[in-house]
């Protein structure tokens, strides 16, 4: 799910003309219909999902298509502003979604189409993981899509070339991670590529002769795709790398401060903070959490300094798995324990299950320590808690419970799967992902896991606090890099001095913040808002406060901008207290 917003910004195709006459523009339902027409043709995956087919191409990221979409989105946004009755969640979310299109054109964000953590080059690998081939038509669709990959890469290369010419390029660190990920896709035989994996086991319902032809066509398509990766790598090494920006912060680019302000507004989703306020908030949170970490060290009975304790955690082999299978098994065991606590905290649980899987080896070296990949009940695909098994010396077991709570349950899987089941909401509401809401909820879920006793030892409690400190340091580091012009070393200092994160994780994470301005601030901003609303509800309702009911109402409308979440919770508090509600439930 967390990939979709980046894909929206860099991989959308042109949409049809919107309804023009005024009689079709005077209701929210008409605007939603036109928005669906825009997005349904803007993203091949969205279009395919809507009609039950399989996507056959990648998006159109050419400047003309981006400008056309922005114009249509701007028109829709003006219609929305003019609709005086459009003051609910649907309208607020539509405004934010349409702004993504407008900003993509105004900022020309397609010039930097990768973050180091994600990008157009990684989309095909994850798409392959989600492909389910049940018919020959499904196989043909995937082969056609793989055949479109060289065109897609060429369009992105053209955009990056424009970035070189205009002085708007990525920093060398996320570029280096991206190049390593691209290198991993250059294989000797098509069968070695993850792009061919969906064709490995075709269903028996396809006649053998036809299946053989599909595999031949698939190998040819994958061979062309591998060549496209090879061409892309040559461009990145030869043309792009020498032009990479020397400073890590986007604020050093012409118009970069404006772009950073837009990124903060997008990712913090209605929180209303400036970069200066976020930085100061981060410093306060760092000081608070550090005190709690010192208390956990005393609980563990360790005699020594904070740095000595962290060094002990980083070097004692008892805190690390010996094999990838052991790490995955530990993640699965913790996930089952987390499943068991859910009825204590929620009335409504999702129907869709989830599993535990390794991060694909082709991208694992530069990838974050864990992530959630959403499932799809209609497609018969469960959600997946992805665990990075690369370099086990950097994956401590004492942090695994907090990671599982964040990525699986009660975190991302629970929140996203419940949103997918909101049959009484428009489709765009089920798919909407406000970063501060989703990541804030997942960080809050780590706290719920602690309340439920999932962290069994002082080391695991310290690990959870270290993870919380990680998110507090993000507020400091992200604004430091992109607003205050910090160096990488300055940005890493908060993590080195205040967390037990492994050195590889620190470097990988700061590379991510350099390449993805603003996103890292969403976690703490969202969590603090949810905690503020919970405290308000508990103080107002006293013994009438029900934690399960509170969680149900937080998640009951799907992902929301934080200002809309506050309105929703305030209305719920008034109803629970027996007063009139200012808004509809």
- CA–CA separation, 338 vs 331, rounded Å? 10
Q: Which two tokens stand for residue 139?
A: 């196989």
Whole-number pLDDT of residue 11:
36
pLDDT per residue as tens digits for the range 509-518:
999 999 999 9
- CA–CA separation, 539 vs 348, rounded Å? 24
Sign of CA dihedral 479, 484, 485, 488: negative
Whole-number pLDDT of residue 579:
63
In Å, what is the CA distance from 295 to each residue of 109, 288, 289, 299, 520?
45, 11, 10, 6, 27
- CA 251 and chain centroid, separation: 23
pLDDT for residue 206 is more than 50: yes
**Alpha-helical segments (H) within 425-486:** 427-431, 435-451, 458-482
pLDDT per residue as tens digits for the range 324-374:
999 999 999 999 999 999 999 999 999 999 999 999 887 888 788 999 999
Mean pLDDT for 61-68 is 97
**Geometric angle at alpha carbon 157, from 373 and 118, rounded to 5°:** 20
3-state secondary structure of 255: coil
Which of 549, 556, 557, 555 is CA-nearest to residue 577?
Answer: 549
Q: Which residues pair with 383 in a beta bridge?
A: 354
Which of 433, 360, 359, 362 is CA-nearest to residue 403?
Answer: 359
In the chain, the percentage of residues whose pLDDT exceeds 90 is: 86
State the pLDDT confidence band at 581, using cuts at 50, 70 and 90: low
Mean pLDDT for 201-223 is 97
Pairing of strands 383-387, 354-358: parallel
- Residue 353: CB atoms within 10 A of its CB come to 12
- CA–CA separation, 576 vs 544, rounded Å? 8
pLDDT per residue as tens digits for the range 155-192:
999 999 999 999 999 999 999 999 999 999 999 999 99
Which of 361, 14, 426, 407 is CA-nearest to residue 193?
Answer: 361
Run of H or E including 553: helix 547-555
pLDDT for residue 9 is more than 70: no
- CA–CA separation, 384 vs 387, rounded Å? 9
- 125-129, 293-297, 302-306, 471-475: least confidently modelled range: 125-129
pLDDT per residue as tens digits for the range 238-261:
999 999 999 999 999 999 999 999
Whole-number pLDDT of residue 30:
94
CB 80 within 8 A of CB 42: no
């Amino acid at each position: 799910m967390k990939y979709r917003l980046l894909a929206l910004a860099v991989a959308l195709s042109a949409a049809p003309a919107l309804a023009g006459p005024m009689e079709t523009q005077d209701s929210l339902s008409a605007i939603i219909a036109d928005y669906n027409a825009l997005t349904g043709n803007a993203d091949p995956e969205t279009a395919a999902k809507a009609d039950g087919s399989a996507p056959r191409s990648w998006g159109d990221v050419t400047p003309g298509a981006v400008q056309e979409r922005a114009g249509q989105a701007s028109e829709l946004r003006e219609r929305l502003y003019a609709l005086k009755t459009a003051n609910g969640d649907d309208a607020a979310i539509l405004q934010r979604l349409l702004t993504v299109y407008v900003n993509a054109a105004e900022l020309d964000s397609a010039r930097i189409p990768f973050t180091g953590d994600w990008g157009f080059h990684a989309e095909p690998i994850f798409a392959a993981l989600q492909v389910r081939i049940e018919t020959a038509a499904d196989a043909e669709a995937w082969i056609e899509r793989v055949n479109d990959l060289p065109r897609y890469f060429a369009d992105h290369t053209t955009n990056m070339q424009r970035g070189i010419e205009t002085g708007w390029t990525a920093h060398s660190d996320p570029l280096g991670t991206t190049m390593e990920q691209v290198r991993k896709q250059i294989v000797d035989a098509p069968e070695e590529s993850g792009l061919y994996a969906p064709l490995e086991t075709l269903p028996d319902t396809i006649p053998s002769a036809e299946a053989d032809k599909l595999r031949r066509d698939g190998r040819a398509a994958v061979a062309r795709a591998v060549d496209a990766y090879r061409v892309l790598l040559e461009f990145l090494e030869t043309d792009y790398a020498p032009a990479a920006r020397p400073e890590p912060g986007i604020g050093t680019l012409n118009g970069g401060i404006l772009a950073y302000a837009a990124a903060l507004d997008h990712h913090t989703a209605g929180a209303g903070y400036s970069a200066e306020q976020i930085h100061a908030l981060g410093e306060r949170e760092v000081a608070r959490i550090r005190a709690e970490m010192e208390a956990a060290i005393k609980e563990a009975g360790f005699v020594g300094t904070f740095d000595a304790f962290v060094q002990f955690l980083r070097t004692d082999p008892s805190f690390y798995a010996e094999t990838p299978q052991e790490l995955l098994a530990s993640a699965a065991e913790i996930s089952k324990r987390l499943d068991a606590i859910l009825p204590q905290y929620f009335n409504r649980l999702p129907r869709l299950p989830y599993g535990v899987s390794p991060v694909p080896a082709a991208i694992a070296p530069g990838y974050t320590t864990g992530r959630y990949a959403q499932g799809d009940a209609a497609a018969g695909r469960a959600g997946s808690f992805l665990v990075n098994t690369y370099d086990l010396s950097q994956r401590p077991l004492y942090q695994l419970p907090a990671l599982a709570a964040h990525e699986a349950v009660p975190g991302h899987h629970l929140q996203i799967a419940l949103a997918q089941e909101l049959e009484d909401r428009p489709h765009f509401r089920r798919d909407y992902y406000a970063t501060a809401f989703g990541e804030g909820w997942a960080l809050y879920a780590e706290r719920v896991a602690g309340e439920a006793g999932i962290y069994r030892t002082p080391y695991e409690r310290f690990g959870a606090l270290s993870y919380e400190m990680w998110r507090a340091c993000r507020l400091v580091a992200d604004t430091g890099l992109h607003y205050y012009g910090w160096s990488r070393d300055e940005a890493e200092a908060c993590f080195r001095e205040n967390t037990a994160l492994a050195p590889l994780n620190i470097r990988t994470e700061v590379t991510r913040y350099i390449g993805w301005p603003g996103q890292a601030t969403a976690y703490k901003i969202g969590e603090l808002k949810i905690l503020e609303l919970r405290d308000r509800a508990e103080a107002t309702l006293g013994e009438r406060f029900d934690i399960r009911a509170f969680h149900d109402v937080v998640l009951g409308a799907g992902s929301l901008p934080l200002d809309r979440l506050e309105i929703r919770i305030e209305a719920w508090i008034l109803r629970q207290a027996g007063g009139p509600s200012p808004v509809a439930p």
